[in-house]
Chains A and B, each alone.
Chain A
Amino acid sequence: MFDIFGMPIQVIMGQVAIGLINGSFYAMLSLGLAIIFGLLNIINFSHGALYMLGAFVGWMLLNYLGINYWFALILVPIIVGIFGVIMERFLIRKLYHVDHIYGLLLTFGIALMIQALFLNLFGVSGQLYEVPELLKGTLNLTFMYLPIYRGWVLVASVIVCGSTWYLIERTKLGSYLRAATENPQLVQAFGIRVPTLITLTYGAGVALAALAGVMAAPVYQVSPLMGVDLVIIVFAVVVIGGMGSIGGAIIAGFGLGIVEGLTRVVYPEASSVVIFVVMVIVLLVKPSGLFGKAV
């Protein structure tokens, strides 16, 4: 084996792998945020709290009802997605006629309420969610031992992001969504029920956050504050990818995970801030983001 910048290749590849796994969560969350921003023009600040809600609903299904991880992967996005549909239908919709900043404030308030509720119920300490039996153990990649569960997270995330991209960019339903993002009034004048499309899109974006939450439960501890820091990073990822750009959110998600991992090798002290440094540079050089349309 050889060294790069005095670092053994194993160390670098190990950090790249860890970066990709963190990037899996960034990608799934920023994808949902980008879809919601594209159609609703709302910066969904409750995204981190809904990710946390996904993890907790998964934990509660397991501990209170004995419903295992695999069923939770299906049930949790549906349950939290329905919660999102109700949020859009009865709260967010009321603010479409005013400036978008009000939508941000509303979703921020909802996020704080959800977090406060779970802090009250469970306190700050995290709850453990055991790795499912099938995914226990490690994989020898020669340069590192990779826990199988983390490998699964990476593969599942690539599949989820790829399928969502395909759905939006290559299907009839996706063409409704893209067209409504550009000109909702005209799409509605063609006979398509845009308000329903908006509600379902918000529900789907929230369901993605909840799915990321269930997948995160065995990796990180299930805690009421698990989404707080993450949502800030994910916002930076969306800005870097280009607000509203679906492909940009996915590529920036995985890419910035790797950048963060490599920074941990080269200069560990900067690893928690490197994404924001990239965001500042991107904003100054190309304010619309790497894959966004010019502003």
Chain B
Amino acid sequence: MNDSLLYVENLSARYGESKVVHDASFHVNQGEVVTLLGRNGAGKTTTLRAIMGVLQTREGSIRFNGKEIISLSSDQIARCGIGYVPEERGIFSSLTVKENLMLPPVISDNPMTLDEIYSLFPNIRERLDSRGTHLSGGEQQMLAMARILRTGANFLLLDEPTEGLAPIIIDAIANVIKMLKARGTTILLVEQNSRFASQVADRHYVFQEGAIVNEFTNQEVLDNPAQVERYLSIEVIQEEEGSHV
């Protein structure tokens, strides 16, 4: 799998003394949408932060486009062509919508134009002069994605883009991801919502307690959703806790 766009090998990441991700190995091929599935606290977000260099206390190997990036700072990693949409969306309250949109520097030769972005996210055009945080949750998520698309990043790290959003907005985000995939954009998506994940992704890795415990193709998930659900549902936690008693 050395021709993968992203190739992660034995990645460990820690906050201070506590190790949150243990020896995770996975890859994302060019043009694929891959999800990291798992419950809260399973280490998915930490994995994205480690790839992006936002979390510097990490070990192992992260190769992007064949280049080792684990020793780089996050600004250098971004300039390799990786766009990051964090879990909390990261919309700046002291910036207008337009300033938020224009903030990240363009990092490739073929960024999405503003017209393309406005046609994809029409709400943003109407709210350009508002404060970024005056947008609704769904609009903020759209802005966070639009902001990264404008940079021309060809590999996106999306951290739970559907969290806390209404079903109609989740459908809109699914459509955007499908459209990006059709354009050839590669995406690594962190999700807890396996129904959403199975709408957009090609493959899935399941995280549990900081380690990858299983891998499914999307067809396997569509054929038998229960085999993924059991890693994500609360009942399983209770069952497992009960079994320890």
Per-position contact with A for B131-153: 1 when CB-CB < 8 Å, else 0?
Answer: 00000000000000000000100
Q: Complex Cα distance A182/B99, Å?
A: 14
Is there an interface contact between B102 and A192, defined as CB atoms closer than 8 Å?
no
A140 CB contacts on chain B under 8 angstroms = none
A175 with B103: CB separation less than 8 A: yes
Quick check: B102 and A172 within 8 Å, CB to CB? yes
- Measured CB to CB, the closest approach of chain B to A294, in angstroms, equals 12
Contacts of B52 in A (CB 8 A): 189
CB distance from A58 to the nearest CB of B (A): 35
Note all chain A residues with C-beta closer than 8 A to B95.
175, 178-179
| Chain B residues, Cβ within 8 Å of A186 | 54, 84, 86, 90
Q: Mark B78-95, 1 if CB is under 8 A from A, else 0.
A: 110000101000101111
Q: How many A-B residue pairs have CB under 8 A?
A: 60
Q: CB-CB < 8 A to A191: which residues of B?
A: 75, 78-79, 104-105, 107, 151
- Which of B75, B90, B93 meets A192, CB within 8 Å? B75
Chain B residues in 8 Å Cβ range of A73:
none
Within 8 A of A (CB), among B88-139: 90, 92-95, 99, 102-105, 107
CB distance from A179 to the nearest CB of B (A): 5
B46 within 8 A of A: no
Q: B45 — which chain A residues lie within 8 A by C-beta? A: none
B53 at interface by CB-CB < 8 Å? yes
In this complex, what residue of A is CB-closest to B157?
Answer: A189
Q: Which residues of B contact A175 (CB under 8 A)?
A: 95, 99, 102-103
| Chain A residues within an 8 Å CB radius of B75 | 188-194
Complex contacts, B105 vs chain A, CB 8 Å: 190-192
Closest to A182 in B: B92
Interface check B218, CB cutoff 8 A: no
B73 on the A face (CB < 8 A): yes
Residues of A within 8 A of B92 (CB): 178-179, 182-183
Q: Which of these, A172, A182, A185, A189, contacts B94 with CB under 8 Å?
A: A182
B154 lies within 8 A of chain A by Cβ: no
Give the complex CA separation of A5 and B227 in angstroms. 84
**Chain B: which residue is nearest A194 at the CB level?**
B75
- The yes or no answer to B61 lying at the interface (CB within 8 A) is no
Q: Cβ of A190 and Cβ of B103 under 8 Å apart?
A: yes
Give the CA-CA distance A194 to B53 in the complex, in Å.
14
List chain B residues, Cβ under 8 A from A108.
Answer: none
Q: How far is the CA of A208 from the CA of B77 in the complex (A)?
A: 34
Residues on the A chain within 8 Å of B94, using CB: 178-179, 181-182
Interface residues of B in 33-89 (CB under 8 A from A): 52-54, 73-75, 77-79, 84, 86
> For the complex, what is the distance from the CA of A182 to the CA of B91, rounded to whole Å?
10
- How long is the Cα–Cα vector from A248 to B103 in the complex, in angstroms? 24
> B residues within 8 A CB of A183?
90, 92
Question: Are B84 and A189 in contact, with the CB atoms below 8 A?
Answer: yes
Q: Chain B contacts of A188 at CB under 8 A?
A: 54, 73-75, 78
Chain A residues with CB below 8 A from B54, complex form: 185-186, 188-189
* Cβ distance B163 to chain A, nearest Cβ, rounded Å: 17
Residue of A nearest to B94 (CB): A178
Give Cα A153–Cα B108 distance, bound, in whole angstroms. 47
B52 to chain A, nearest CB (A): 5
Residues of B within 8 Å of A189, CB to CB, are: 52-54, 74-75, 77-78, 84, 86
Q: A179 to B103, Cβ gap below 8 A?
A: yes
Q: A190 CA to B78 CA in the complex, in Å?
A: 6
Closest B residue, CB atoms, query A171: B99
* In the complex, A176 has a CB within 8 A of chain B: yes
- Chain A nearest CB from B16 CB (Å) reads 12
- Told that A188-B75, A189-B54 touch, could you supply 12 new A-B pairs with CB distance under 8 A? A175-B95, A175-B102, A179-B92, A182-B92, A182-B93, A183-B90, A186-B86, A186-B90, A188-B73, A190-B103, A190-B104, A191-B105
The 5 closest A-B pairs by CB, nearest first: A191-B78, A190-B104, A189-B74, A178-B94, A175-B99
